[in-house]
Amino acid sequence: MQTKQHSIWWPRLATFLLWVAAGASLAFWILKWPGMGTKLPAVGVASIGGPAPTDTQAVARLLGMGAAAPALPTPGAASRYALMGVVAGSSGAGIALISVDGKAARPFEVGAAVDAQLVLQSVASRQAVLAGRVEGPAAVTLELPPMKRLPSPVGVDAIPPVKSSPFEGNRFKPSLTDS
């Protein structure tokens, strides 16, 4: 009489799939546990007809609204305004963090009124342009102060450069000789 030998792979495959399902279930419930998973903010979909809505308060926090940078005095009407930060998009769109009359800086989108006379006309890398109207001529151009270069750490310049390695290929070349 001849007996049929069962394949050993079917139980192994079933056991593997069972462990994968158990691991996926465990991961799901760990992420559902309060405080364990990170909750991501909902992201809105921008309409094709116009620019995407921007959270100006989030941009203000990103640009450091709480920390006021020293404003550089400029002559005329520009002395009332200080540019604290810029997030520039394509074609002059974006947000600028502007301080008016030395008050706390606030975020302004392109086209928003900065005060009674001026609106934010456009933003670019490190500058914002204010005008009487969005389509009108520029009245004030605000620029961020130049970035400061950080000093090199103490002692970095004193390290001598490496001249050569004692290893060349697979052979060891001793740098010290016996006298």
- The secondary structure of 77-97 as a DSSP string is GGGGEEEEEEEE-GGG-EEEE
> Rounded to two decimals, what is the model's pTM?
0.42
Question: Rounded CA gap, 69 and 64, in Å?
Answer: 9
Question: Rounded CA gap, 143 and 133, in Å?
Answer: 19
H helices present in the chain, as ranges: 9-32, 56-62
The residue written with tokens 């462990």 in the block is: 19
Amino acid at 15: T
Is there a contact between 109 and 95 (Cβ–Cβ < 8 Å)? yes
Question: For the segment 121-171, what is each residue's pLDDT rounded down to a tens digit?
Answer: 888 888 888 988 888 888 888 888 787 777 766 655 555 666 665 555 555
